[in-house]
C-alpha cells in the first residue's frame, strides 16, 4: 500500500512587494541555516535595495560578493568607444587583473586597440512542421512574400526591437528559421521571444498552408550554447579588435621576439583545430566573464560570447599584427541586471550605462579581450606563465 511522501519544507515567502525586503531575505537565510546548518553571515551583508530586485531574482536571500579589480588605462580607437577606459573586472582568479593590466599597458604604448562592430542581431528561431517537404518549401516562399506583415506583427510588442530579416533552413518536412532583430541597448532575448511569438501567431492565422504545428524555439538560435551557426553568422554583436605591436615593445615589455610569438600562434591555431574548439585564441572567457559579472550582464551568455577567431601576422617591418573576432558577443547597457547598484556603478565607470551605450561597451569588451590574449600568449612564450601564477594566483586557506 503506497503512502504519500512527507511534504517538503517550503522556502519562506511573503505576498507581493514584501517578498523583496530585508526581512524576507533574513527569513530565508534563517530557513537555509535551519535546513543545512550553514552560517550565512556574509551572504546577508549587501548594499543592494531588495525592493529593486523584482524581475532579477526569486527567493532573494543575499548576495555573492565577487571581488572587483581595476585595470587600465585601456586605450580604444573605436567607432563608439574613444579614448582611455578604466576597466572593472570581477574575478577570484589571481593573476587575471594583473595580466589584463599588463596587456593594456603594452597596447596603449602601441597606440591603442582599434575596434569595429561589423554586425548586430539577436535571434529567436522558430520551426514550422508540415505534412511533407513540399509544403515546407512553399511556406518558405510565402514567408518571404509576407515579411513586411510578419515584421509589423512582431514589432507591435516592442518599442525598440526591429525585425531585420528571417533566415530559412529546410530539413525533412520542417522549415527552421532564424528571426534576426536589432534590440537597441538591451541584450534582447526576452524581447525577441515575445516579438517572435506574436509573429508566429500571425503566421498561423494567415498562412493558407497546412502548418501542423510550430515551436517558438527550435534550438537553432542556440541560446546560451556555443554553436557554429552563431560563429558564422552573428548573435549579439560581431566585434573585431585589432592592433599592431612594434617589435621593440614586445622585446622590452614582454620579453619575447615577434617571430617567436607568431610561431606560437600557428601552433596554437593548429592545436585548437585538432581539439575542435570554438575559440582559436587563448582565454577570451576570462575577460568576458569578469566584465559580465561586474556590469550586470547575463553570465550564462559567456557560453556564446567567448567564441573567438584569433589571427596574427608579422609585418614587413618586423612588427606583430594581432586581431580577435568575437562573432557572438551578447551585451546590454539597459535592462536586466545593468541597473542594479554595483553593476550600474561599473557601467558608469566605463561611461557606458543606459541608452546609447551598448556599442561602446561592446568595443570596450573586445579591446579588453585582445589585451588579455597578448599578455597570456607572451607569458607562455617567455615561460613566465607558471611563475606569474605562483606569485599572484595562490590563495590556499
Per residue in 336-385, pLDDT (tens digit) is 999 999 999 999 999 999 999 999 999 999 999 999 999 999 999 988 75
Return the H-helix or E-strand segment holding 106. Answer: helix 96-109
Using the predicted structure, report yes or no on whether residue 19 has a pLDDT greater than 90: yes
pLDDT at 396: 59
* Structure confidence by residue, pLDDT tens digits, 144-200: 999 999 999 999 999 999 999 999 999 999 999 999 999 999 999 999 999 999 999
Provide the CATH topology of domain 68-119+235-391.
3.90.770
pLDDT at 183: 96
pLDDT at 38: 96
pLDDT at 243: 98
C-alpha radius of gyration, the chain, whole number: 24
Residue 181: helix, strand or coil by DSSP? strand
CA distance 72 to 378: 18
Counting Cβ atoms within 10 Å, is residue 342 exposed (0-12), middle (13-18) or buried (19+)? buried
Using the predicted structure, report yes or no on whether residue 1 has a pLDDT greater than 60: no
Residue 68: helix, strand or coil by DSSP? strand
* Structure confidence by residue, pLDDT tens digits, 117-149: 999 999 999 999 999 999 999 999 999 999 999
Q: Residues 226, 307: contact at Cβ < 8 Å?
A: yes
Residues noted as catalytic: 93, 298, 389
Look at residues 276, 279, 278, 258 and name the one whose alpha carbon lies nearest to residue 374: 258
Q: Which residue has the higher pLDDT, 312 or 390?
A: 312
Give the start-to-end residue ranges of the domains of the chain: 16-52, 68-119+235-391, 126-215
Provide the CATH topology of domain 126-215.
Alpha-Beta Plaits (3.30.70)
To the nearest 10 degrees (0 to 180), the angle between helices 147-155 and 189-206 is 130
- In whole numbers, what is the pLDDT of the chain averaged over residues? 95
| Nine-digit cell string for 260 | 617567436
Using the predicted structure, report yes or no on whether residue 391 has a pLDDT greater than 70: no
pLDDT at 7: 87
Amino acid at each position: 500500500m503506497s503512502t504519500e511522501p512527507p511534504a517538503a519544507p517550503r522556502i519562506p515567502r511573503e505576498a507581493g512587494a514584501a517578498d523583496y525586503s530585508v526581512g524576507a531575505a533574513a527569513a530565508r537565510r534563517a530557513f537555509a541555516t535551519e535546513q543545512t546548518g550553514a552560517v550565512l553571515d556574509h551572504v546577508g551583508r549587501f548594499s543592494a535595495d531588495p525592493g529593486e530586485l523584482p524581475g532579477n531574482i526569486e527567493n532573494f536571500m543575499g548576495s555573492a560578493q565577487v571581488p572587483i579589480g581595476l585595470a587600465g588605462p585601456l586605450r580604444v580607437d573605436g567607432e563608439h568607444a574613444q579614448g582611455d577606459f578604466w576597466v572593472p573586472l570581477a574575478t577570484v582568479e589571481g593573476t587575471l587583473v594583473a595580466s589584463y593590466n599588463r596587456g593594456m599597458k603594452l597596447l596603449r604604448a602601441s597606440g591603442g586597440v582599434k575596434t569595429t562592430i561589423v554586425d548586430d542581431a539577436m535571434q529567436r528561431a522558430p520551426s514550422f512542421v508540415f505534412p511533407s517537404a513540399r509544403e515546407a518549401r512553399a511556406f518558405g516562399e510565402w514567408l518571404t512574400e509576407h515579411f513586411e506583415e510578419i515584421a509589423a506583427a512582431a514589432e507591435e510588442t516592442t518599442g525598440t526591437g526591429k525585425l531585420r530579416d528571417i533566415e530559412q533552413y529546410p530539413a525533412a518536412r520542417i522549415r527552421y528559421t532564424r528571426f534576426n532583430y536589432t534590440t537597441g541597448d538591451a541584450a534582447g532575448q526576452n524581447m525577441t521571444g515575445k516579438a517572435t511569438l506574436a509573429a508566429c501567431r500571425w503566421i498561423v492565422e494567415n498562412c493558407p498552408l497546412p502548418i501542423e504545428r510550430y515551436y517558438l524555439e527550435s534550438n537553432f538560435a542556440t541560446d546560451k550554447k556555443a554553436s557554429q551557426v552563431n560563429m558564422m553568422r552573428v548573435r549579439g554583436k560581431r566585434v573585431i579588435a585589432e592592433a599592431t605591436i612594434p617589435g621593440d615593445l614586445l622585446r622590452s615589455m614582454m620579453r619575447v621576439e615577434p617571430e617567436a610569438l607568431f610561431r606560437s600562434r600557428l601552433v596554437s591555431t593548429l592545436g585548437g583545430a585538432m581539439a575542435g574548439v570554438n575559440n582559436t585564441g587563448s582565454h577570451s572567457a576570462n575577460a568576458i566573464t569578469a566584465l559580465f559579472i561586474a556590469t550586470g550582464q547575463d553570465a550564462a551568455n559567456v557560453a556564446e560570447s567567448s567564441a573567438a577567431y584569433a589571427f596574427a601576422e608579422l609585418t614587413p617591418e618586423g612588427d606583430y599584427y594581432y586581431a580577435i573576432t568575437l562573432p557572438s558577443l551578447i551585451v546590454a547597457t539597459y535592462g536586466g541586471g545593468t541597473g542594479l547598484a554595483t553593476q550600474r556603478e561599473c557601467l558608469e565607470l566605463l561611461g557606458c550605462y543606459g541608452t546609447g551605450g551598448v556599442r561602446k561597451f561592446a568595443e570596450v569588451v573586445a579591446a579588453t579581450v585582445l589585451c588579455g590574449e597578448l599578455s597570456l600568449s607572451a607569458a607562455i612564450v617567455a615561460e613566465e606563465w607558471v611563475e606569474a601564477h605562483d606569485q599572484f594566483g595562490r590563495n590556499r586557506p
